[in-house]
Structure 1
Amino acid sequence: MLTSRRKFIRVLSLGTASALHPATAFLPFGTTVSPFGKKPLKADSAKRIILDSDTATDDALAILMAVTSPKLKVEAITITVGNVGFEQQTKNALYTIQVAGKKGQIPVYQGSSRPLVREIHGSATYVHGSDGMSDSFFPDPEQKPETEHAVDAMIRLVEKYPNEITIVAIGPLTNIALALLRKPSIAKQVKELYFMGGFYKFYGNVNPLATYNAWVDPEAARIVFQSGIPIRTVGFDVSVKSSVFTDEDYDNVAKLGTKHSDFFMKINKVRRKYCKEHQKMNGSNHPDAITVAAVIDPTIISQSVSRYVDVETHGELTVGALAIDELGVWKKEPNTTISVEADEAKFKKMVFDTLKLS
């Protein structure tokens, strides 16, 4: 049974997943305009989103921004394998909802606690602390996770709101790949998918050509990128260039004196130190948060390119790399809008506005 499952997923990851839904509504190669062409929501309507997360420090800020934004309707938070222990990630998401004052209003569903076919990679406690929240060790949240599996919830919600759901993936893509494997038809019903991962003419953070969220489960990432869902990436490069909170920014956050600002300061203690000492930044970057910010206000992304993207699943040195066909040598229509530049001032204002709320 295990062997047949592995073979089935391997075949899909090698190419037949593109049959799930042909890439449509994309502009010609080389365009710098977003290709998302599905029916827009009314101007006064909140975007329906599913936030798929491996909740640790930066995911927590992203969740805080999403659930407090009047421009988003968070239908679900789904938990995927990733940063720290699976149960701890679930608690982190639930506690963040509680901090946001939304206890009992946003359902949290647990999904896959391991990649599709690979062994669990370990954890990123060196970035996020042993509890994923910079060793803050918050009390257990009052809200509990739902009993329905995240994959089932994802399929149910996409079918309930066809062409209305935006999936915001700020962790590995395992849950989304599993949903596509179980119900391929949902690829045609997802409005768009924002993925925090990859980069454009930059460098990786787990190997020279890959970033964490694709590297953890590259087979899942390949299935998703070949599914035909309109995808926008907000990559590591964008976060390094436009989402870094400096010491001055932290001082200004501390001066706010709110519940949200205190939460931000606590959950970023370990991350702030790691980014400065090991990633040569002038502070801490916030890739998940700037991804959610782009969903809230797409004008935060000031430049993007449309390209065909595939995912490396076998490379000895490059597993998890997003292979961007810059010159169109594969002669395939673009399947991804890649964010290239973002408006740092707009992003930081959005974060500060969120932290001022409580």
Structure 2
Amino acid sequence: MHVTKRQFIKTISVGSAAALLPAWVFASGKPTADPVKRIILDSDTATDDALAVLMAVTSPRLKVEAITITCGNVGFDQQTKNALYTLELAGKSGQIPVYQGSARPLVRQVHGNATYVHGSDGMSDAHFPDPKQKPDKEHAVDAIVRLVNANPGELTIVAIGPMTNVALALLKDPTIAKKIKELYFMGGFYKFYGNINPGATYNAWVDPEAARVVFQSGIPITTVGFDVSVKSSVFTDEDYVKVEKLGTKYSDFFMKINRIRRKYCKEHQKMNGSNHPDAITIAAVIDPSIVSEKVSRFVDVETRGELTLGALAIDELGVWGKQPNATICVEADEAKFKKMVFDTLKMS
């Protein structure tokens, strides 16, 4: 039976998939401020995603046009509530639309969840009250296609979860690949190790076919990997003491949502605190100087490996003879990142 693209999207997604700034500020003819980046934040919102959402929506350097929810960390509706609650906490309720996208990977069964890292509610069992804002009725895939087509060359997609929604948008309208300004992906690593199998990290592993669609699309991609988060985003016990002493609404939120994650990272990943990969990814979008070293490489995604499913295959020696399709962050400035997080948590 022939299945159309529209039927495919409708089948594997929740809801229906039927079928927007400030420029340079000049003084005396010279630019005095960076332009505000307009982003679509694609998230499977749980603990670390929530910090990234908070940083994004409170940053004067970003304008979040939409938050799109993808399959990933915990229950789909719970992820949506987590994003909406974080917006409400930030005083942005009703100001930024939240769209639900695909509740499952492109072709695979739902992988389960990561409640062992994030708690049953994705927020370390904080069980926050239901937010006032509800998700928009438009499907996330439709929203991505509409927003990109309406703003060619202006929108950055920040994918801090599995890239199912982005892949579906590309399958629905392949022309948007040339209209997306750039894409940041939290996933993979450079000369390091995986956190879901020895060769892969969670976001690519959940939906490797989707990741492959995106990496083969021609969109300018920057990856911020698990390795960068382990090296440069770990909040130690000393950092937690400093956060708690802030005594703000946001610092209290940080302490609550990281209770289970903090314990997991220390006991199971042998860190001296909790790492924050989604947060350091959004930090790199806000201030690219946080990335202190990067390389350009051709990257593909393993979709059939028995032991390394979801691995980002980085052609270090150019053996495939292909031009680089991704910029890979290698090192980041830990002090700059932590200052950004502390500055955010001090705001409330």
Residue 235 (1) aligns with residue 201 (2): no
Displacement after TM superposition at 1:159 (Å) = 1.0
Work out whether residues 194 and 232 of structure 1, in 8 Å CA contact, stay in contact via their aligned partners in 2: yes
Supply the distance in 1 between the matched residues of 2:96 and 2:117 (Cα, whole angstroms). Answer: 27
Query: 1:114 matched to which residue of 2?
Result: 104
The number of residue pairs the alignment matches comes to 326
Match of 2:238 among 221, 241, 248: 248
Match of 1:215 in 2: 205
SS at match of 1:308: strand
Q: Cα 1:41–1:340, aligned 2, differ >3 Å: closer, same or farther? A: farther
Instruction: Tell me if 1:54 matches 2:48.
Output: no
Structure having the larger proportion of residues in strand? 2
Pick from 316, 326, 337: which aligns with 1:326? 316
**1:138 partnered with 2:128:** yes
Greater alpha carbon shift after TM alignment, 206-215 vs 44-53: 44-53
**Distance in 2 of aligned mates of 1:3 and 1:108:** 29
Kept in 2, the 8 Å contact 1:41–1:164? The answer is no
What is the root-mean-square deviation of aligned Cα atoms in Å? 1.5
Partner Cα distance (1:319, 1:165) in 2: 30
Quote the residue 2:63 is aligned against: 73
Give distance in 1, aligned partners of 2:264 and 2:338: 21
**Could you say which residue in structure 2 is the equivalent of 1:307?**
297
| 1: CA distance, partners of 2:72 / 2:3 | 24
SS at match of 2:122: coil
| Displacement after TM superposition at 1:45 (Å) | 2.7
In structure 1, give the amino acid aligned to 2:42. Answer: D
- Give the match for residue 16 of structure 2: none
Question: TM-score normalised to the size of structure 1?
Answer: 0.89
Answer whether contact 1:309 1:334 (CA < 8 A) is retained: yes
Higher relative contact order (CA 8 A, sep 6+): 1
1:280 maps onto 2:261 in alignment: no
Alpha-carbon distance in structure 2 between the residues aligned to 1:277 and 1:177: 34
CA distance in structure 2 between the partners assigned to 1:134 and 1:41 by the alignment: 40
Output the CA distance in 2 between the equivalents of 1:301 and 1:140.
Answer: 36
Partner deviation per Cα, 1:213-251 (whole Å, 9 max, x = no partner) = 000000000000000000000000000000000000000
1:149 maps to which of 139, 142, 145: 139
Specify the alignment match of 1:33 in structure 2. Answer: none
Cα pair 1:308 1:336 within 8 Å, conserved: yes
Determine the C-alpha separation between the residues in 1 that align with 2:342 and 2:330. 23
The amino acid that maps onto 1:162 is: P
Q: Secondary structure of the residue that 1:274 maps to in structure 2?
A: helix
Q: How far off its partner does 1:190 sit?
A: 0.3
Structure 1 residue runs of 4+, over 2 Å off?
1-5, 40-45
Matches of 2:220 and 2:255, distance apart in 1:
35
Query: How far does residue 41 in structure 1 lie from its aligned partner after superposition?
Result: 5.8
1:46 CA displacement:
1.0
Does the CA contact (< 8 Å) of 1:41 and 1:47 recur in 2? no
Structure 1 portions without partners, runs of 5+: 10-39
Give CA deviations for 1:108-146 in whole Å, capped at 9, x if unaligned.
Answer: 000000000000000000000000000000000010000
The CA deviation string for residues 282-328 of structure 1, in whole angstroms up to 9 with x for no partner, is 00000000000000000000000000000000000011000000000
CA shift at 1:160, angstroms? 1.2
Distance 1:123 1:167, change over 3 A: same
CA distance in 2, matches of 1:283, 1:227: 36
